[in-house]
Structure 1
Amino acid sequence: MTKSLSWKQWLAASVAVLCVLAAIAWHQMSSRHASERYGSLTLLIPDSMAMDAPEVSIWTQAAAERGVLLTPLSISTWMRGVNYGAKAAQQAVIIPDTFHRRISDAAAQTLMDVVHAGGKAMVVQDGGLLDERGYYSPGQARFSAMLGVRYGDYDQYKENLSDYDEIMGSASTMEALGIPPGRYLNAKAAASLTSIAASDLARANPEFDSFVAGYTKDSQRFAVLKTDRPATPRILLQSADGNVVASIHRWGQGEAMFVNLPLTYLLERTDGIFLHGFLAYFSSEMVRQPSLLATPDGIGALVLNWHNDDRKAIGFLHTLQDEGIFDHGHQSMHFTAGPDVNREGDGLGMDLDHNPDAQEMVQKLRSQGHTIGNHGGWIHNYFGANANDSNGDDFEQYLDLNNQAVTKANGGQEPKEYSAPTGNQPLWVYDWMSAHGVKAYYTSGSVGMPPTRLWLGFRQVADAWAFPVLTYGQVASAEEASFQHMSVDEFGQWLQQLARFIEQTRTIRLSYFHPIGAVSYLPAVKAYIETMQGCADRAQCQFISMTEAADFLSSRAQVQWSLQEQGDDDVLTASHPQSLASMAWSIPKARYSGVQIQSGEANVQGTDQTWLVRAKAGQQLIMVLHRRP
């Protein structure tokens, strides 16, 4: 005979069932909440990957530097949140390249359904190209229809799935992606400053008249997957062979962006301008997020970095002083201080310890407010030609000697800026910089970028800010311009384009000169500085030293901010442990009709396309953003 349950057993069973239901409800709510990070892009990562894995940090650090809200989330958690009711129209997701090639058919379908229902997506090259077993889909890639581009067709191409080619686009698109003049070249400049073949420069489509260039004499080529030549999506960039490199496609009620470049891979190898650029473009142009600008008060800033290699530099510095070049803002003056240049004993060096003229020049520059820094290792050309990753034990002494001499000339203050002779920066130099408190350094990697925390593979140089140099093809300095037989007019036109770019993009960029080259191209250099000064007089630009920029960026990294939905408005809340002074946000007018300061102090200024909000002193700021219907 079956014995009936006692009331205590019934109660225990009921409690157990309620606990299970509560756990399920909590799990559903937490998954939905995680998938509904309002105002934030979502970086979908493999379930097996830690949130602080280097691959993930590459993206989250880039987002922080660009002032973009980005949240990493495992793809299964995101899928559950969508299935539990996260709003499709609020989804803005990224499938990254290189480390997230495999996703399930269910995840791929969920993403396509979300975009079709009104979400936004950015698919980066091989992101999601393989199924969970590591196999290609039959025929075209699963996201082809959503992206409007046929790609990833292994059945057709087999091992020849990709090309290695130049990238082309319009000048306006390049600049919208944060690529400055000189990092992109028109056909005429590309023909003279790279080895791009003339046949590749002649294109029927006049829209794609500019080429991405590196800091080498050879053209810069990229690995791109082969695609068809679609008519539907809006193509931003294409390869010289006509493959789609970047495009935007309407899919149902939403939009999807295809980026046919290995963004993660490129940043790991010190070419981060593309990951940063596309991340910012997706956020601002497609999702229309507010962004935290990376310049003091949201004003474009020019870093002028002077490399003084030898004794002759002092005479040219006098000429530049007489021309008023150093009467503008705060600049970064770096010195190689030893008595030799090419080899020990040649006597061609500055010999700062025993050169009264050089010492007086350093004091003059300091009195003008400029920052004194180290230009590497004591014997400029010898260090630049011979230091490498394996001989730090022999060459570190030259950094120490240079540092001691420059510190003495700098009134006993150890320099906090560094630039590498001939751009040669072995790995052990980063450790030396960290030990000596260097805050900022010049780099020939990631050319054209704003200041960044450089990645060397999966190692981030987190102690100091890297300042990539601006380049015009294989030209960065005036000496290199002379090597290319470039006219003063052409060099000057490039510098004027940079001045305009810095003002319009409200970013920090670095130009570097040697005194001898600057004197040779003096009309162009002087006009460049005067143009920037005119912009500064209008309060639209500023001169800034590397140290000042690094201090600002390190302070900016402590800003905590978020965006929350509040009825028909959004509320942006920001805080800083010391002060929000000089922090600025760009608020897109396409999404918001106005900005109201609810708490804290800030100025709101309207521009053509944005509301510019500049914070004043105070630790907290709350602003209400009025959404357009």
Structure 2
Amino acid sequence: MRWRIRSFWIGSVFLLTGFLVTLAATAYFLTRIEATPSGTSVGLIVGSPTRNPSVLSAYATVLEEEGFAYEVLARQELAKWSPEVLRQKYGALILLEGVNSDLSTSEVEVLSHYVKRGGQLLAVYDAGLHQPAFCELIGVRLQNLPYDGYWSFGSPGRARFWGFTPGKYDGRGFVTGYGYGRLKYRHLRATATTASVLAWDGRNPVVTVRRCESGGAVVYVNVPLAWHKRRTDDLPLRAVLTTFLTSYARLPHLVNAPEGKGTLVVNLHVCSSAWASSLARLVEEGLIDQRLPYSLHITAGPDCRRPGDGLGFHAERPDRAELVRKVAARASIGSHGGWAHDYFAYHLVNTPSEKAKEYLERNFTCLQSITGKPVREYSAPGGNNPPWVVRWLAKHGVVAFYSPGNGGSAPQWPWLDDRPLEGRLWEFPVTPCGRWACLEELSRHHVPLDEVKGWIDELTTFCAQRRVVRTIYTHAAAYPYAHQVLRHLHDRLLELSQEGKLRVATMEEVAEFLNRRALTTWRVNRQGRDGYQVELANPEGLNGLTLAFYLGHGHFLRELPPGWQAEYENGWCYLTCRKNATSDSFTLRVE
């Protein structure tokens, strides 16, 4: 009897404790729900829109490319709204570097209340540098002492979470670059006081976060992100923005991948006759496969290192022309420089532009005459791609070119004269495998085969999970090391594509999709706590465009709008248009 009474009281205590814990957790959860930002756009905060316009342009360009709605917000306008109205208007606020070091105490107070109400704030580099109250808000004490240091997330998993592509970090989570190894970035001397450190350089914090019970958060990044983008390192800015806006602010966005699927672009180069037999073998063995369309670029002339050496691919030879036609039935044919690979690459600076243009035109004309199709893709021999060549490509109907700069990042508008180039031309940065990119480099530096295969597996998983486009490149090689890697790549891509997890597409296909997507006008407004009102239009059609909404784990749309298909993953809904329409509007309800 005593045992029963004791058991009853013990059980009652456990039940009461469980009830109180559940009640507290529910109250905290409801607090977080109430504090969830209502706004669906980003506010880019600047001291003045005309001050340091290239910084604003860098952020605005990446947001447009990544599909986030944004508005430029002068700091003086912060005082116009209450913190609650500001939160309802903007799901996230970003304090850009270089234009916000002189925050006033009243501006800091508005931002502080915004975060306490559940707002998401990203502060970059020297934002608030001269305002002690702001340093208290971000939980980091800043000093105006810039220096160059490393950037480590501590582990590969953390680097991936923050959007850094596999191959762009090492085993300890240090950010790396093609040809350089560990990269150095500009930092300020800083000390974390109340913020949690997410990345560091060994001495100073590089990424921190300070959270509020309301669900609000302040993320601080101790790197001038726009400054590095403007110097051909786009990935840090893009990775930080997309991670902050999807993992913290969880804002709706227009996915920048065809049909909302992760996509890998494989770019093979044929520089000379040395690759002719291996190219034929890859075709015969099915490693250049119509089901997995690659982009294959050829230097078509009869010479390579100097005029008259006879070492070129010589695409006009009947047997080579037939090989090119076989490849063209399975892949997209592009131009690899101008007519003589090494000569064009290494004499381009000293070659009169008219002569260089003649080499380009001959290469384009030759390939077009063989395939019967216009050449719309390009890759620069030796990575030598001066601005005048980029403009020439844009003028001659090319829509995509490979680039060794901006390594590991997404297709993007070329950045020339400190601003994006207008038009239909897209730059496709190469994703390296650590310090090297093509298989010849990896083999020469004795990178183990298993390591390269593991990188391919991680990269394809990354693209599939984050629904992004990335590009890799090598030569059309068939020696044992390269053959094993290309076989593994083919089998991996075929498996993922057949499972519907990943797409393989040519540069031209992705560029044409991005050009059509860029014409889209769209608006998403919240309706209460469980709905969205959506309007979008595109003169060339909505089919294949995808909108992403965060619904929360275990939540779904009550019903789908006609002609739209939904996929649910990790709390997100990816809504893809499957009908021929140029405009649509509908209301979404979450359950």
Q: TM-score, normalised by structure 2?
A: 0.87
Q: Does the alignment pair 1:448 with 2:408?
A: yes
What's 1:171 paired with? Answer: 156
2:544/2:576 contact within 8 Å kept: yes
2:567/2:574 contact within 8 Å kept: yes
Secondary structure at 1:434 match in 2: helix
- Residue 494 (structure 1) aligned to one of 447, 455, 473: 455
Alignment of 1:17-416 (within 5 A): 38-47=39-48, 49=50, 53-82=53-82, 86-88=85-87, 91=90, 92-129=92-129, 136-137=130-131, 141-151=132-142, 153-154=143-144, 160-186=145-171, 209-230=172-193, 232-239=194-201, 241-251=202-212, 253=214, 254-327=216-289, 328-353=291-316, 355-368=317-330, 370-388=331-349, 391-411=352-372, 413-416=373-376
For 2:244 and 2:516, locate their aligned partners in 1 and report how far apart those are by CA, in whole Å: 26
For 1:571 and 1:518, locate their aligned partners in 2 and report how far apart those are by CA, in whole Å: 56
Tell me by how many angstroms 1:495 deviates.
Answer: 1.5
**CA deviation profile, 1:258-284 (whole Å, cap 9, x unmatched):** 011111111111111111111111211
Change (3 A) 1:49 1:108: farther
What's 2:30 paired with? Answer: none
What amino acid sits opposite 1:225 in the alignment? Answer: L
For 1:312 and 1:424, locate their aligned partners in 2 and report how far apart those are by CA, in whole Å: 21
Q: Does the alignment pair 1:424 with 2:384?
A: yes
What amino acid sits opposite 1:590 in the alignment? Answer: G
Tell me by how many angstroms 1:379 deviates.
Answer: 1.3
**CA deviation profile, 1:590-619 (whole Å, cap 9, x unmatched):** 289332557542012222332121111222
Tell me by how many angstroms 1:556 deviates.
Answer: 1.0
1:125/1:262 contact within 8 Å kept: yes
Secondary structure at 1:210 match in 2: coil
What amino acid sits opposite 2:498 in the alignment? Answer: D
Bigger shift: residues 332-341 or 607-616: 607-616
Tell me by how many angstroms 1:564 deviates.
Answer: 1.3
What amino acid sits opposite 2:293 in the alignment? Answer: H
What amino acid sits opposite 1:115 in the alignment? Answer: V
Secondary structure at 1:441 match in 2: strand
1:264/1:275 contact within 8 Å kept: yes
What's 1:192 paired with? Answer: none
What's 1:196 paired with? Answer: none
Secondary structure at 1:274 match in 2: helix
Secondary structure at 2:565 match in 1: strand
Tell me by how many angstroms 1:67 deviates.
Answer: 1.7
Change (3 A) 1:592 1:235: farther
For 2:337 and 2:526, locate their aligned partners in 1 and report how far apart those are by CA, in whole Å: 51
Secondary structure at 1:482 match in 2: helix
Tell me by how many angstroms 1:362 deviates.
Answer: 1.1
Change (3 A) 1:517 1:470: farther
Change (3 A) 1:384 1:142: farther
Secondary structure at 1:522 match in 2: helix
Change (3 A) 1:561 1:37: farther
Tell me by how many angstroms 1:229 deviates.
Answer: 4.5
- Residue 421 (structure 2) aligned to one of 451, 461, 466: 461
Tell me by how many angstroms 1:383 deviates.
Answer: 1.8
What's 1:516 paired with? Answer: 477
Tell me by how many angstroms 1:389 deviates.
Answer: 8.7
What's 1:6 paired with? Answer: none
Secondary structure at 1:174 match in 2: helix
**CA deviation profile, 1:135-167 (whole Å, cap 9, x unmatched):** x35xxx44221111122x34xxxxx44343343
**CA deviation profile, 1:42-76 (whole Å, cap 9, x unmatched):** 0012235289x443232222112112222112221
For 2:492 and 2:277, locate their aligned partners in 1 and report how far apart those are by CA, in whole Å: 25
Change (3 A) 1:518 1:510: farther
1:518/1:525 contact within 8 Å kept: no
What's 2:397 paired with? Answer: 437
- Residue 560 (structure 1) aligned to one of 505, 514, 521: 521
For 1:297 and 1:48, locate their aligned partners in 2 and report how far apart those are by CA, in whole Å: 35
What amino acid sits opposite 2:299 in the alignment? Answer: T
1:599/1:620 contact within 8 Å kept: no
Bigger shift: residues 596-605 or 89-98: 596-605
Tell me by how many angstroms 1:242 deviates.
Answer: 2.8
2:61/2:420 contact within 8 Å kept: no
Secondary structure at 1:247 match in 2: strand
1:55/1:458 contact within 8 Å kept: no
1:303/1:544 contact within 8 Å kept: yes
Q: Does the alignment pair 1:588 with 2:550?
A: yes
For 1:448 and 1:345, locate their aligned partners in 2 and report how far apart those are by CA, in whole Å: 37
Tell me by how many angstroms 1:103 deviates.
Answer: 3.2
For 1:219 and 1:389, locate their aligned partners in 2 and report how far apart those are by CA, in whole Å: 33
What's 1:480 paired with? Answer: 441
What's 1:27 paired with? Answer: none
1:559/1:575 contact within 8 Å kept: yes
2:162/2:240 contact within 8 Å kept: yes
2:553/2:571 contact within 8 Å kept: no
Tell me by how many angstroms 1:311 deviates.
Answer: 1.1
Secondary structure at 1:86 match in 2: helix
Tell me by how many angstroms 1:220 deviates.
Answer: 0.8
For structure 2, the 5+ residue unaligned runs are: 1-36
For 2:183 and 2:164, locate their aligned partners in 1 and report how far apart those are by CA, in whole Å: 14
For 1:282 and 1:400, locate their aligned partners in 2 and report how far apart those are by CA, in whole Å: 44
2:232/2:406 contact within 8 Å kept: yes
Secondary structure at 2:388 match in 1: helix
For 1:627 and 1:144, locate their aligned partners in 2 and report how far apart those are by CA, in whole Å: 38
For 2:438 and 2:206, locate their aligned partners in 1 and report how far apart those are by CA, in whole Å: 31
1:332/1:371 contact within 8 Å kept: yes
What's 2:537 paired with? Answer: 575
Secondary structure at 1:185 match in 2: coil
For structure 1, the 5+ residue unaligned runs are: 1-35, 130-135, 155-159, 187-208
Tell me by how many angstroms 1:475 deviates.
Answer: 1.1
2:150/2:175 contact within 8 Å kept: no
For 2:135 and 2:75, locate their aligned partners in 1 and report how far apart those are by CA, in whole Å: 20
Number of corresponding residues: 549
**CA deviation profile, 1:347-392 (whole Å, cap 9, x unmatched):** 1011222x11210111111223x21110002111122222239853
**CA deviation profile, 1:268-301 (whole Å, cap 9, x unmatched):** 1111111111111121111111222111211111
What's 1:31 paired with? Answer: none
For 1:309 and 1:360, locate their aligned partners in 2 and report how far apart those are by CA, in whole Å: 17
Secondary structure at 1:320 match in 2: helix
Tell me by how many angstroms 1:218 deviates.
Answer: 4.4
For 2:375 and 2:272, locate their aligned partners in 1 and report how far apart those are by CA, in whole Å: 18
Change (3 A) 1:117 1:335: same
For 1:543 and 1:480, locate their aligned partners in 2 and report how far apart those are by CA, in whole Å: 24
Tell me by how many angstroms 1:343 deviates.
Answer: 1.1
Tell me by how many angstroms 1:531 deviates.
Answer: 0.9
